Amino acid sequence: MILPGATLGLLGGGQLGRYFAAAARTAGYGVWVLDPDPQAPAAAFATRHLCAAYDDADALALLGTHCAAITTEFENAPASALAALADQYQLPVRPAAAAVAIAQDRIREKQFFRDCGLPVGPYGVIADAAGIPAALTQVAYPAIIKTARFGYDGKGQVRVAGPTEAQAVLAAQPDLMPCVIEQLLPLAQELSVVLGRGVNGSVQCFPVAQNHHRHGILDVSIAPAEIAESLAQQVCSWASRVANTLEYVGVLGVEFFVLTDGSLLLNEMAPRPHNSGHYTIDAGACSQFEQQLRLVCGFPPLDPAPAANAVMVNLLGDQWHAGTPDWASLLQHPRARLHLYGKREARPGRKMGHFTLVGPDRQSLLEEAEQLRRTLGMSASD
């Protein structure tokens, strides 16, 4: 077990890394962050910021010789860099490179879910132009084309009404390949769960969250989700199967679709803390970042315990188009907790922060969240 006073290495310096670094520093650990962005949000909380590419040999050597363990805050950190830190420096890397490599590639991820015996929606694989005709027959339409790697928050995704349009999109945007084409499904709900799995195989799930997206980006999370206990147990059971099959160590986010006929499907996984788990900072017995710290350091996961009702609303860069949002009005609300990520440039679609409302009555929280959205000039939630 890695005790306070040790230094931990973190690949990625975004807001998830910022929260991890804050949790680690609070508990007495040092944190070295590797991120090529000189203004990386996590750098403000790190004991050292290595401003270099994720595969920079000198930077990886510094992490390898000065850190007691390595983790990551986003799934697109090169799995090869994580593998090098584990192999060359004999460091615990949590999660392991093999798990991250699967989550980085939608094609591998979907096949992995199937290998776990878990259902996914109809899809076709397009490895290259030669595979387009066959793949387009694997789904009904409308459908969505998703690049296999480096797509997130709606990036690298295109909706298509039929195979003719799909062929035109792929001809015009060959950089989307390799990719998958997924059948759009009649959704009743989108759910997610964040879990922690320890080195001894013990698993603890946070309460399931119900999510609403807009333009492919998470807009609102409500936790605990208002679903039957049997469905919540199924979500946690399937997510635990994923983690156990991977022999995963760390915090893992798993997303699900509930169809209008009541069936449950896996969507995707994230080998890190998850945006929909931010409510745990304010509403849980422990946050997902405290959990991540414990697991990286070899301790068993904390029992998250039942959470208070919480509504989390993402704040995107769009809200800054007319200047700084009206934080004073938001902070006057007795249940509103504001989180800003320290990003200097507000761009449309960029996650700049979030606010969370916590309280005993779910419906009141939803109504208050809508009022605060209007105060900040945001459109109503879907």
Does residue 204 sit in the same domain as residue 310?
A: yes
Does residue 151 sit in the same domain as residue 255?
A: no
Q: Is the pLDDT of residue 194 over 90?
A: yes
Does residue 363 sit in the same domain as residue 225?
A: yes
Give CA–CA dist 367/279, Å, rounded.
Answer: 17
Domain count, the chain: 3
Does residue 299 sit in the same domain as residue 358?
A: yes
Q: How many CA atoms lie within 13 A of 368 on its CB side?
A: 25
Q: Is the pLDDT of residue 154 over 80?
A: no
Q: Is the pLDDT of residue 150 over 80?
A: no
Encoding tokens for residue 170? Answer: 């792929």
Which regions of 95-201 does DSSP assign to beta strands (E)? Answer: 123-126, 143-147, 157-160, 179-183, 187-197
Q: Is the pLDDT of residue 307 over 90?
A: no
> 28 with 52: CB under 8 angstroms?
no
User: Is residue 81 one of the residues assigned to a domain?
Assistant: yes
User: Is residue 78 one of the residues assigned to a domain?
Assistant: yes
User: What is residue 381's predicted lDDT score, i.e. its pLDDT?
Assistant: 78
What is the three-class DSSP state of 300?
A: coil
Give CA–CA dist 274/267, Å, rounded.
Answer: 14
User: What is residue 131's predicted lDDT score, i.e. its pLDDT?
Assistant: 93
Does residue 213 sit in the same domain as residue 270?
A: yes
Chain CA centroid to CA 143, Å: 23
pLDDT (average), residues 129-141: 94
Q: 124: which residues sit within 8 A by CB, 6+ positions away?
A: 134, 135, 136, 137, 138, 139, 180, 181
User: Is residue 117 one of the residues assigned to a domain?
Assistant: no
User: What is residue 216's predicted lDDT score, i.e. its pLDDT?
Assistant: 84
Encoding tokens for residue 67? Answer: 């850190």
Give CA–CA dist 41/92, Å, rounded.
Answer: 25
Does residue 174 sit in the same domain as residue 209?
A: no
User: Is residue 1 one of the residues assigned to a domain?
Assistant: no
Identify which of 292, 271, 298 has the alpha carbon closest to the alpha carbon of residue 199. 298
Residue 103: Cβ-neighbour burial (10 angstroms; 0-12, 13-18, 19+): buried
How does 231-253 read in b/e, with b if 16+ C-beta sit within 10 Å? bbeebbebbbbbbeebebbbbbb
- Strand-by-strand arrangement of the 157-160 sheet: 123-126, 179-183, 143-147, 157-160
User: Is residue 239 one of the residues assigned to a domain?
Assistant: yes
SS3 of 37-85: the string is: CCCCHHHHHCCEEECCCCCCHHHHHHHHHHCCEEEECCCCCCHHHHHHH
Q: What tens digit of pLDDT does each residue of 231-283 get? A: 999 999 999 999 999 999 999 999 999 999 999 999 999 999 999 999 999 99
User: Which domain covers residue 301, as residue numbers?
Assistant: 187-375
pLDDT (average), residues 20-34: 98
Does residue 178 sit in the same domain as residue 229?
A: no
Does residue 194 sit in the same domain as residue 175?
A: no
